[in-house]
Amino acid sequence: MMTRTVALCLLYSVLVACNGGDSGTSDDANNRPSATDSSISSFVIKGTSNPLIPGSPEPIDPYENDGQFSVTYAIEADGTVDIELSVIEAGGSIVFCGNESTEFYDRDCGPGKSCGLSGELSCKFSANYMLSCEGGAERNLIVFFDELPKNADIVLCVSHASGGGASKERVQFR
C-alpha cells in the first residue's frame, strides 16, 4: 500500500512539473493547437446501414448500400497534414501510424490541397475484400479478414511536421 501511495505521489509530481506553469485561464485561445500542433477534433464513421442495436459497432457490409460508408473528420492544425486511414483488430493498440499492410487511405490535406482539414469521405467495402475511399487507392485486405463478421477498428492517423495524433472507431465488417 505504501509503495502504491509513493508511486501515485511521484506520478502526480511529474504531471504537475510537466505542465510548465498553467496560467489558470480557460479561454479558447489557450486551448487551440499551436502552430506546431495538430489534433483530431472529430472522427465519425457512418456504416452501410444503421446498427441493429443503438451504440453497437457501425456495420460495413458489401451487400448493403453497395458497400458504401462514410468517414467524417475534423482536424485542428496550421498548414498541411498527412491523413491516413487503416484497419486494426478490434480493441487493438495504435502502436504506430502508417501500417501499410492495412492502410486504405493516405493523403496530404489542408490549405490548397484536394482535401481539407475537415470533410466527409465516401468509402466502399466490396465483396472481394477491397476497401477504398474517394481519392485513394483501392486496397485488397483479404489477409486481414480471417472471418466475417469481424469487429475491427478503423484508425484515423494525422501527422503534422511536428507531431500528430490518432483516433479509432469500432466497426463490424460483414
**Tens of pLDDT, residue by residue, the chain (174 residues):** 333 332 323 223 322 233 333 333 333 333 333 334 678 889 899 999 988 888 889 999 999 999 999 999 998 888 888 888 888 888 887 766 766 678 899 888 888 888 888 989 999 999 999 999 997 889 998 988 888 898 998 888 888 766 667 777 778 888
Q: Please name which of 87, 82, 83, 113 lies closest in space to residue 100, comparing C-alpha atoms.
A: 87
pTM of the model: 0.72
Cis peptide, bond prior to residue 149, ω within 30 of zero:
yes
Burial of 117 (0-12, 13-18, 19+ CB in 10 A): buried
The amino acid at residue 169 is E
Q: Please name which of 35, 145, 37, 130 lies closest in space to residue 90, comparing C-alpha atoms.
A: 145
Which domains does the chain show, CATH number per domain? 35-173 (2.60.40)
Reading phi first (left if > 0) and then psi (alpha if -120 to 50, else beta), residue 4 is in alpha
